[in-house]
Amino acid sequence: MVWVRIAVTMPDWWGEMMAPMFIAKVVGAVIAAGVLIAAPLIFASSYHIHILILSGIYVLLSSGLNLTMGYAGQVSLAHAAFFGIGAYVTGLMATQMGTPFWLDMPLAGIAASIAGLIIGLPTARLRGFYLVMATLGFVSIVNVIFGNWEEVTRGHMGIRGIPAPDVPFVGPLDSKAQFYWLILVLSVLTVWIIQRIVRSYTGRALIAIRDDEVAARAAGINVLYYKVLAFALGAFFAGIAGSFYARYITYISPDSFTILESVFALAMVIAGGSGSLLGPVIGAIALTVLPEGLRAIGDFRMAIFGLLLLVGILFLPRGIYGSLSEMAIVRVKRSAVRRKTGQLAVKTEEISIELADSQSH
Amino acid sequence: MFAEQLLNGLISGGIYTLIALGFTVVFGILGALNFAHGELFIFGGYFTLLFSQTLHLPFVLSILIAIVITAGIGMIFELVGFRPLRQSPVTATMISGLGLSLLAQNGALLLWGADAQPINTPYSAVRISFVGLSASLDRLMVIPVTLVLIIILTYLIQRTRMGLAMRACADDIEAAGWVGVNINVISLATFAISAALAAAAGALVGPISMVQPSMGFDAMVRSFAVVLLGGLGNVPGAIAGGFLLGILESMTAGYISTNYQQAISFLVLIAVLIFKPSGLLGKLDPEKV
């Protein structure tokens, strides 16, 4: 975020000097990293750290969804199901087999990916609202299974007493700050992996499919394969988020994984800016912190949240990050145009002088 | 048992049809999904409650007033959440609808409280029996009221000048604008009709079950299923889908388990999507290149 503001307020003569910009980016990144790492020490209250941890969980969820939706263009409401499957895999393995978190967390991600394949494969040819509805149906079915398959999931009683993760060299996590650092590492890893995916051939194939499926197919991209892959990859991060959620809250029940959770993840991606790396991160933090911050006004909280969502989409239609970076780009372009027109004016003057000279001779 | 479940299915099917009709009309004509549609449904219930219970007006009059007020709220939704975003991608209206939905749902929560409230009508005591079946009048009247509203809607769309303009918008909203259709007016009218249908459903549900602020989202999800079953934006499809889902759910509840009632309907939904994504009565638009 820091570098965006620098780009906006940058004076014109900086335009083409990349070096100061690069330094500003590095300094900004170092400051941001410092603030993120030191956050639990800055916010003394455990309630504030709790909000940060929740934000981190949502960063995983929304970044995963962004891969499916923002890059591959597959608008999905299935994310609560993947989130829940990850949570249940970890919850069941940890309570019944006592698995360490570094074993059941990847397994939770893989289980969610498999669920992503199951829903992604048959719905790959659907688009727009049809896909939204199919994924919505999937979430509802998974939720009903959580609630009714009592022999395994214990139904609406839920699973209690999920042990805290036992991190190698640290021991079982016993403070909120430690949970925060774990989710911080997971979030940074997630955003980094997604960045690697997006910048790879796979990412470009996904973007090509999103922008024009027919053209992508004509260019030789296996559309079915990449669409299903986008679902499975997005689901993986949701599964990891679910695994962490189960370990952190220590109790899971079907009520935590309803369609509303999917809608929130979707709102975070769109509010932040879909199809950008930082957008979903900003959206996740903003939409987690905002309702909590509004707790002070009590009963009006969710109503105000709805109002803000409405106002946000009306005035920042491309999301917070999308709209801000668009403004920055417009600003930079405008200054570039101004410079170019300046040069052009000088050139025109020179030419006209030359012309006048040649005519006078 | 079978006849009884069939009757139950027809009654809940009538309610589903009314909610889904409003939902599908907005999609068919304007190409927008109204995520706040379920809240219009609860407003219908609550305004009926307000006028019949608190202000002691006659029940039928209360329903009519509730429908008019809710239609007005639907128009406000259009003005605030959908008109400014007509040129935006569909996900934008999903978010604005979600915002409106949260706003309206929590508004209802503040005004009327979180508890489920019944609407007492003079009709719930009247029982009608025929061929071994018995049901109270407030339940039975759902079916004829639904049919009457379907006829009125069909008349509006097929026989009036406004309906012609609506069909033109459904065909191609931009071209309709070029030939002089006032799209702003049509958009407002569509939302008003949609809200009126949802309000009628809410008013009919009130006496049977209860009204509660949280039931709007569930109603919206169900009407998703119904609309998809029949084909998105397709009016006869929504009617068929509504009754079909109602009967399917009541049969599942009667013969399998009430726990899996909702899951079975979504299973059917996904099956339709995979095997016939255009819905049972719909035609699928080939992709334009």
- Rounded to whole angstroms, how far apart are CA atoms A299 and B109? 9
Residues in chain B: 289
Q: Between helices B90-112 and B215-230, what is the axis angle to 10°?
A: 140
Torsion angle in degrees (nearest 10) through CA of B97, B102, B107, B113: 140
| Most B-contacting residue of A308, A310, A315, A316 (CB-CB within 10 A), to test interface | A310
CB atoms B270 and A134 under 8 Å: yes
- Rounded to whole angstroms, how far apart are CA atoms A254 and A260? 12
Q: Which residues contact A23 (CB under 8 A, 6 or more apart)?
A: none
Q: Which residue has the tokens 């398959």?
A: A149
Give the pairing of strands B127-130 and A171-172.
unpaired
Paired tokens of B166: 């609506």
- Comparing alpha-carbon positions, the chain B residue that sits nearest to A142 is B263
Distances (CA, A) of A264 to A248, A267, B36, B159: 20, 5, 15, 42
CB atoms B103 and A313 under 8 Å: no
- Rounded to whole angstroms, how far apart are CA atoms A256 and B43? 27
pLDDT of residue B14: 93
CB atoms A133 and B224 under 8 Å: yes
CB atoms A140 and B107 under 8 Å: no
* B111 CB within 8 Å of a chain A CB: no
* B287 CB within 8 Å of a chain A CB: yes
- Which residue, among A40, A67, A325, has the nearest Cα to A191 in the 3D structure? A67
- Comparing alpha-carbon positions, the chain A residue that sits nearest to B274 is A122
- Rounded to whole angstroms, how far apart are CA atoms A139 and A135? 6
- Low-confidence stretches of chain A (pLDDT beneath 50): 1-7
CB atoms A317 and B88 under 8 Å: yes
- Rounded to whole angstroms, how far apart are CA atoms A151 and A92? 12
- Rounded to whole angstroms, how far apart are CA atoms B218 and A298? 25
Distances (CA, A) of B116 to B46, B205, B218: 11, 12, 14
Task: State the smallest CA–CA distance between residue A193 and chain B in angstroms.
Answer: 26
Helix (H/G/I), strand (E/B), else coil: A5: helix
Q: Which residues contact B227 (CB under 8 A, 6 or more apart)?
A: B20, B23, B24, B27, B233, B237, B238, B241, B279
Torsion angle in degrees (nearest 10) through CA of A342, A346, A347, A349: 140
Task: State the smallest CA–CA distance between residue A310 and chain B in angstroms.
Answer: 5
Paired tokens of B231: 């084909």
Considering only the beta carbons, identify the residue of A130, A137, A303 that sits closest to B107: A303
- Which residue, among A136, A90, A38, A47, has the nearest Cα to A242 in the 3D structure? A90
CB atoms B225 and A267 under 8 Å: no
CB atoms A310 and B96 under 8 Å: yes
Task: Kindly state the helix (H) or strand (E) to which residue A224 belongs, with its residue range.
Answer: helix A223-249
Q: Which residue has the tokens 């005591």?
A: B125
Task: Kindly state the helix (H) or strand (E) to which residue B133 belongs, with its residue range.
Answer: strand B133-136
Torsion angle in degrees (nearest 10) through CA of A146, A152, A158, A164: -120
Q: Between helices A259-272 and A319-360, what is the axis angle to 10°?
A: 20
Paired tokens of B198: 């949802």
Considering only the beta carbons, identify the residue of A140, A274, A303 that sits closest to B262: A140
CB atoms A310 and B99 under 8 Å: yes
Q: Do the Cβ atoms of B140 and B121 come closer than 8 Å?
A: no
Paired tokens of B73: 């709220």
Chain B residues touching A299 at Cβ < 8 A: 106, 109-110
HEC string for A19-53: HHHHHHHHHHHHHHHHHHHHHHHHCCCHHHHHHHH
Q: Tell me how crowded residue A333 is: count the other CB atoms within 10 A of its CB.
A: 10
- Comparing alpha-carbon positions, the chain A residue that sits nearest to B279 is A130
* B259 CB within 8 Å of a chain A CB: yes
pLDDT of residue A6: 41
Chain B residues touching A317 at Cβ < 8 A: 85, 88, 92
Distances (CA, A) of B36 to A178, B191, B259: 40, 11, 27
Q: Do the Cβ atoms of B126 and A165 come closer than 8 Å?
A: no
- Rounded to whole angstroms, how far apart are CA atoms A130 and B32? 13
- Rounded to whole angstroms, how far apart are CA atoms A273 and A268? 8
Query: What is the phi/psi pair of residue B86, to 5°?
Result: -60, -30
Task: State the smallest CA–CA distance between residue B13 and chain A in angstroms.
Answer: 19
Paired tokens of A100: 């360490």
Chain A residues touching B26 at Cβ < 8 A: none
CB-count burial class (<10 Å; 0-12, 13-18, 19+) for B16: buried
Q: Do the Cβ atoms of B117 and B212 come closer than 8 Å?
A: yes
* B81 CB within 8 Å of a chain A CB: yes
Q: Is the pTM of this model over 0.90?
A: no
- Comparing alpha-carbon positions, the chain A residue that sits nearest to B77 is A310
Q: Between helices A46-66 and A259-272, what is the axis angle to 10°?
A: 80
- Rounded to whole angstroms, how far apart are CA atoms A207 and A204? 5
Distances (CA, A) of A127 to A130, A131, A273, B90, B277: 6, 5, 20, 12, 10
pLDDT of residue A2: 41
Q: Tell me how crowded residue B112 is: count the other CB atoms within 10 A of its CB.
A: 17
The pLDDT averaged over each successive group of 10 residues in chain B (289 residues) is: 86 92 90 89 93 88 94 95 84 82 88 85 77 78 92 92 92 89 94 96 88 83 81 84 89 79 71 72 50
Chain B residues touching A308 at Cβ < 8 A: 99
Task: State the smallest CA–CA distance between residue B258 and chain A in angstroms.
Answer: 11
Q: Do the Cβ atoms of B136 and B123 come closer than 8 Å?
A: yes
Considering only the beta carbons, identify the residue of B33, B110, B260 that sits closest to A144: B260
- Which residue, among A148, A151, A173, A147, has the nearest Cα to A162 in the 3D structure? A173
Distances (CA, A) of A96 to A46, A88, A104: 30, 12, 12
- CA quadruple B83, B87, B93, B95: dihedral positive or negative? negative
pLDDT of residue A10: 52
Please give the interface size between A and B, counted as residue pairs whose CB atoms are below 8 Å apart.
127
Chain centroid offset of residue A108 CA: 19
Considering only the beta carbons, identify the residue of B263, B267, B269 that sits closest to A133: B269
